[in-house]
Structure 1
């Protein structure tokens, strides 16, 4: 948590322990942290350089913690100043770049990224750099660095970045498919499902896009597309797939109790997955329910809706607002 101000995990643990104790000698602190004494001493010296700890003047060999409100506040202020200066430098460099190349050449509109590490790094850069919206297509054929469960996405809703994701139905059948989809929904992302997506795709703020170039098994290579007619086409592709996809609704399976006249959370999960095109058996497997339980619940939904076919049930679900298009 304090890595942003230059502390590693061991140093942060040492500071937290010192704050809890108020003051401690090195052997006692090392025992509490289950660390060797030399490593504990190095951590304390690092904290001392950052103004977070000091040796006691009253008792030799004893260390005391600096008040967090004052010490951490000063470090955070300094870090904010550094970030502000970096942001200013980035703006100036961007202005210089625009001034030097008012009409970008064709080769400046796209860049080829090769290698698994480079592709993953560029992919995360695009997501972390987004300020407004990230649009993603996720197929059942994963590419390097194109997963959905990522720290950048975890922080995106906090930063106010909207996420719209379309996943291929096959993804839900993967071992962690339902769990990752549920996590995405819990983060506030909008998730839809379709039978097939044409390609993995990421679009950040409608100004940059990333699409894989290589087939599965070959060395990962991706194309990063800047503002251009090609980017507009990729954006149009995403919007077309988004419009034709089914919204996904998931919750904690079996966590809600049935109530008269209203489907519970598990009913809605089952209904959402069925409307996404999954079979009864696949739904039962993914939600860890018995096949008979799934079929019994579907029958209950049909009785609740007063319909006789599943097609009618789907239409009725839209009319009642149980699922959204």
Structure 2
């Protein structure tokens, strides 16, 4: 029997891994003693004895006498059925207790819960704690809009990707879209670049409609007031609204410009072909960032280039395209397909 799949099947019984292995051994080896169980499961005789006694306590195995003591598993259908019935009863009592706790939670002073679909969180500490809990609970994907005004005195949704990048679980996909109109200064850009984990994806777009974080598409958090992120947040559990918010994110994501987290100048020792390819890629990155309204200094910081290098690329492009202004460069580059398609 496959150990990993067996562990998953037994997770709800409350039995430890060693007890489960001992039971599986006894099912096919009736009348085995502790030494035989130990050898069959690859553990010490003392550990096997502990596992067998735990099975006895759960009425899954019995002693059948003799010297040394031998053990026999009970009929799995009836003995395990009784164990599972007890576990279901325990879960039912736990669910009832959870309902009672939820009533106390809702009645606590200062807490505003209009329904199971929405929750209002007002204080700085509560917003930060709620956000951190939802982030750490995520198992699949976190979707993130960031736009000004920013709050720096505490962890808030969509204010800093540093919080998200440091707290998101390994293996959870983090996709962030930053408002390019609010990322022109060094601090905001470094927050975005430094806070996005290596496996994260970062894009830019002007005019992001709102601050928003969506967790596994089962919960979302956003500020109550667009112009004042310190005024509290709304936690959303409504599946209908979550579908709408997710669709909004995907629409913005498709239009946003990817910001590479690993951009670097071409090596002087690279082949001419590789250097030319790197230059073309860098030029395309500069064009994309220009298209969302970023200035030369911000583009240089985003791509880890010097300001002079960015300006040289822009000047060269202007001459090649016959354009006199940045707007004309971006427009002609788009018409000629030089911007390329954003990666999904």
TM-score range, shorter chain: 0.5 to 0.7
TM-score (norm 2): 0.55
What residue is the counterpart of 1:162 in the other structure?
173
- Among candidates 250, 255, 278, match of residue 263 of structure 1: 278
Unaligned runs of 5+ in 2: 1-86, 101-112, 324-328
Q: Which residue of 2 aligns with 1:175?
A: 186
**Equivalent runs, 1:218-297 vs 2, <5 Å:** 219-251=230-262, 254=265, 256-257=267-268, 259=272, 260-264=275-279, 267=283, 269-280=285-296, 282-284=298-300, 292-297=308-313
CA distance in structure 1 between the aligned counterparts of 2:132 and 2:144, rounded to whole angstroms: 13
Q: What corresponds to 1:124 in structure 2?
A: 132
Q: Pick the aligned partner of 2:162 from 150, 157, 181.
A: 150
> For the residues of structure 1 that align with 2:92 and 2:211, how far apart are their CA atoms?
31
2-side partners of 1:93 and 1:169: how far apart? 51
Q: Is the 8 A contact 2:141 2:173 kept in 1?
A: yes
Contact 2:265 2:278 in 1 (8 A): no
Offset, 1:267: 4.4
C-alpha displacement at 1:218, in angstroms? 7.5
Unmatched tracts of structure 1, length 5 or more: 1-87
Q: Distance in 2 between matches of 1:317 and 1:98?
A: 61
Are 1:208 and 2:219 an aligned pair?
Answer: yes
RMSD across aligned positions (CA):
3.9
The structural deviation recorded for 1:142 is 2.0
Q: 1:313 maps to what in 2?
A: 333
Deviations 1:119-159 (A, max 9, x none): 1111111111100010011112225513333355235362x
Number of residues paired by the alignment?
A: 229
SS in 2 for 1:263: helix
**2:117 aligned with 1:109:** yes
Quote the offset at 1:97 in angstroms.
6.7
Report the Cα offset of residue 295 of structure 1: 2.4
Contact kept, 8 Å, 2:263 with 2:303, in 1: the verdict is: no
Counterpart contact for 1:163–1:189, Cα < 8 Å: yes
Aligned pair partner of 2:144 in 133, 136, 145: 136
CA–CA distance in structure 2, aligned partners of residues 288 and 237 of structure 1:
31
Deviation at 1:285, TM superposition (A): 6.9
CA distance change for structure 1 residues 219 and 137 in 2, over 3 Å: closer, same or farther?
A: closer
- Counterpart of 2:95 in structure 1 is 96
The whole-number CA distance in structure 2 between the counterparts of 1:97 and 1:301 is 68
Relative to the length of structure 1, the TM-score reads: 0.57
